[in-house]
Amino acid sequence: MANKEKEELITIPLEFYIPDDLPTHYSTNMVVQHGQHEFTIYFFEARPPLIIDSAESMKKLESIQAKCVAKIVVSPDRMKEFIDVWNDNFEKYKSKYQKKDNNKKNVNR
């Protein structure tokens, strides 16, 4: 009887919760690195400086800082699932919005 109890699977639903105070960041850049057992995804936000006077100030800039706003580590199996979901969602985005954008461009010609 002990073996039968071990074989039974218990399903517990997962409830997704997003706290109201969770900060939202805009990502302008992303870096993905991998090791043998995980993928690490870094999301960066680059904020160009406010230039008021002239293009001369732009020439003096040595760099623009891209601040890491999130770092996510996932297993290779989960990464494959993420890629599939992202690709599916991006295809849906393209079919919904890019057709409209292309129609607008054709009308304006």
pLDDT digits (tens, 9 = 90+) for 26-79: 999 999 999 999 999 999 999 888 777 777 777 778 888 999 999 999 999 999
What predicted TM-score, i.e. pTM, was given to this entire model?
A: 0.70
At 84-108, the pLDDT tens digits run 999 999 999 999 998 766 665 555 5
Task: Please give the C-alpha separations between residue 35 and each of 31, 76, 101, in angstroms, as whole numbers.
Answer: 14, 9, 40
